[in-house]
Copies of this chain bind each other. A is one copy, B any other.
Amino acid sequence: MEEKNTDKKPVEPRSNKEKEQIINRLKRIEGQVRGIQNMVENDRYCMDILIQLSAIQAAIKKVGYTVMERHTKKCVAHSIKNGDGEGMIEELLEIIKQYSK
């Protein structure tokens, strides 16, 4: 899926608190990725590296669900209430398929 909506915004702006929570989680993930770089540098055992990679995948999936839930409750619900939800629902299902890979 290509990025299509570069200037589009959520129907309701994220609060600073919302932003902070997601960014903190992403910063932890960033730190985990750096941690794995060190593990590779120090030639750590493959399984330990794979376990860490798997932990990052789980963390990213959770961030994705948080964004997906808010999107569905705000943007998708808003468009459904305005009678033009079909396109948004199809867009949502497209990303759900992407996430199930």
Contact = CB atoms under 8 A, between A and B. Distances in A.
A96 B44 CA distance: 19
B5 A45 contact: yes
Number of copies: 4
B97 A71 contact: no
B30 A98 contact: no
A3 to B, nearest CB: 5
Contacts of A86: 73
Interface of A: 1-6, 8-10, 13-14, 19, 22-23, 26-27, 29-30, 33-34, 36-37, 40-41, 43-54, 56-58, 60-61, 63-65, 67-73, 75-77, 80-81, 85-86, 89-93, 95-101
